[in-house]
Amino acid sequence: MFGLNTECVLSDPQEYLELEDYAGRVSRWCPGCGDNGILAAVQRLCRDEQLPLEKTVFVSGIGCAARFPHYVSTYGFHGLHGRALPTAQGVKIRRPDLNVFVNMGDGDCCSIGTAHWIHAVRMNFHMVAMLHDNNIYGLTKKQVSPTTPKGWKTNTTPGGAYLNPINPVSATLGITNVSFVAQVVEWIPELLFDVIRRAYHHKGFAFIRILQRCPHFMPTGFQSLLADPNNLMLLRHDNGMKVSDDLARVYKTHEDHDPSDMNNARRLADLEDKVPIGIFYQNESIPCYDEIRRPQKMPIWQQREQLLTKSFDRFGIAQGADA
C-alpha cells in the first residue's frame, strides 16, 4: 500500500465518538436546504460506525453540495467542479484503508463531470458517491441543470428548460460494471440514513442519487412528492431495504423489488408517474479497481534498486565485451 504503514495509526481503543465529534464548521447552507439533512444522516452514519476521523475522507467538487467536507471534522478535499470522482479515486488507490465518500451536485456529476461519472461506475472503486440532486444550479444562482425538468424556468432558460432531463439512476444502471445504485429523498431521514448505511457497507462503487430541496431557487421543485407521499414508491425486499411500519403507513405505494434483479431495476428507474426510492441494484461480485490495480507488494527500497539494476542491464552497453 505504497509504503504507508497503516497499522501504526490503529492505536489503542479510542474514545467513543459522539455526533458532535463529527461536526465541522458551521454550515452556511440556506435555511431549509436539503444538504443539511444529508449532512445529518452522514454524521449519524459516522457515529454509528465509529469511523475514525483521521481515516475518513470526504471528496467534493464545486457547488453548494461540495461545501460538505468543510462541515465534517474528518479529512476532506474540496476540489474542482466536476472533478471529485477522479480525485477520490487517486486517494483510494493509494490509501485503500481510508473510508472515501464523494459529494457531488447535479451539475458536478451529470454535466461537467459526466465522463468521470461513467468511468467511475465502470472502474468500480470501493467508495460511496452521493449525488445531491436539487435539479438546479444553486451556487451560481439558478441556471438550468441536466436534471431540471423540461419546461422549468431558470435564468438561462427563461422560457422554460428545452430538454428532457437526464435520469441519473437509469444512466448509471446502463453503465458496465455497475455495482450499487440507490435513490432516496432527503426529507425522509430514516430511509436516507438506511440507504447511506447500506451504501457504506457495500463493497464497490455505491452510487446514491439523493433528491434534495433548494428552498431558494427551486422551492416548488419536489412539491408534488411532498404534497402527496403516494407519488413516491418505496422499494422493499429482504435483500434490499426493510421499511418500518410507521413509514409504510405514510408512504402507501410500495414495491417488492429484489436489488439483484437488473431488469426490474431498469424498469423501475424509467417509471414516469412514480419516483421509486430505495436500492435499485446491488452486486458485490464486480471486481473493484482498487483491488485489481493495487500492487500486491509492499514497496521497499531494495525492490526499486533491483528493478533499476535490471533495467540498466537491459539498456546497458557492454562495450568491447565478448560478443
Partner 1 sequence: MSPTQEAGTIQRVDQHIVEIISDSGEGAQTAGQMFGTVSAQMGNSVWTVEIIPAEVEPPARSTAGASGNRIRLGSFPITNAGNHTDIVLALNEQVLKGREAAGEFKKNAIIILENVWASSKVPGVAKAYTSTVADLRAKGYRVYEVPMEEECLKHTDNPKRGKNMFILGILCRVYSRELAYARKAIAAKFKKKGQPVIDANVKLLEAGFEYAGGHLDFRFDVTPMESTEPQVVMNGNTAIALGVVASGMDVCAMYPITPATSASHYLSEIFDECGGVVHQAEDEIAAAAFAIGASYAGKCAVTITSGPGMALKTELMGLAVMGEVPLVLVNVQRGGPSTGLPTKVEQGDLLAALFGTHGDAPKIIMAPATIEDCFYSIITARKIAETFRTLVIVLSDANLATGQQMFPRPKFKKEWLAPPIDQSPVDPSHPPFDWDEKTGLSQRHIPGQPGGMYALTGLAHDRESHVAYEPGINQQGCRYRSLKLAAFQKTLKTPKVHGDPEGDLLIVGWGSTKGSIEEAVDTMSSKGHKVSSLHLTFLQPMASGIKEIMQKFKQVVTVEINYSDDPNDELIDDDNRRYSNLCLLLRARYLVDVDCWSHVHGQPIKPEEVEQMIERRLGAR
Q: Map the footprint of partner 1 across residues 294-323, applying CB under 8 A.
A: 294-295, 297-299, 301, 303-312, 315-321, 323
Indicate the residue among 246 and 317 with the shorter CB distance to partner 1: 317
What minimum distance in Å lies between the beta carbon of 230 and partner 1?
Answer: 40
Q: Using the minimum distance from each CB to partner 1, give the nearer residue, 98 or 269.
A: 98
Long-range residue pairs from 72-76, CB within 8 A, at least 24 positions apart, any chain: 72/22, 72/23, 72/24, 72/39, 72/42, 72/43, 72/46, 73/21, 73/22, 73/23, 73/24, 74/22, 74/24, 74/46, 76/24
Question: Of the candidates 37, 23, 49, which has an alpha carbon nearest to the alpha carbon of residue 222?
Answer: 37
Binding mask 59-98 for partner 1 (x = CB under 8 A): x--x------xx-xxxxxxxxx--x-xxxxxxxxxxx-xx
**Considering the rule CB under 8 A, would residue 2 count as an interface residue with partner 1?**
yes
Give the shortest CB-322-to-partner 1 separation in angstroms.
8
- For partner 1, which is the closer residue by CB, 122 or 236? 122
Q: How far is the CB of 128 from partner 1 (least distance, A)?
A: 16
Whole-Å CA distances, 237 to 107, 256, 260, 281:
32, 6, 10, 12
Q: Shortest approach of partner 1 to residue 86 CB, angstroms?
A: 4
Q: How far is the CB of 318 from partner 1 (least distance, A)?
A: 6
Closest distance to partner 1 from the beta carbon of 48 (Å): 19
Which span sits near partner 1 by CB under 8 A: 202-210, 256-264, 273-281, 287-295?
287-295
CA distance 166 to 281: 19
Size of the site for partner 1 (CB under 8 A): 72
Other beta carbons within 10 Å of 306: 11
d(CA 210, CA 207): 10
Question: At how many degrees (to 10) do helices 35-49 and 189-201 cross?
Answer: 50
Interacting positions 24-53 with partner 1 (CB under 8 A) = 24-25, 52-53
* 3-state secondary structure (DSSP) of residue 132: strand
**Strand intervals (E) in 186-253:** 205-211, 232-236
Q: Which residue, 85 or 195, is less far from partner 1 as judged by CB?
A: 85
Q: How far is the CB of 269 from partner 1 (least distance, A)?
A: 24
Cell, residue 59? 471528496
* Binding status of residue 172 toward partner 1 by CB under 8 A: no
* Residue placing its CB nearer to partner 1 in the complex, 65 or 195: 65
CA distance 69 to 132: 14
Taking CB under 8 A as the criterion, which residues in 111-130 touch partner 1?
115-116, 118-119
Closest CA to 187 of 27, 45, 37, 28: 37
Q: Distance between CA atoms of 38 and 202, rounded to whole angstroms?
A: 19
Output 139 or 226, the one with its CB closest to partner 1: 139
The reply to whether 287 sits near partner 1 by the rule CB under 8 A is: no
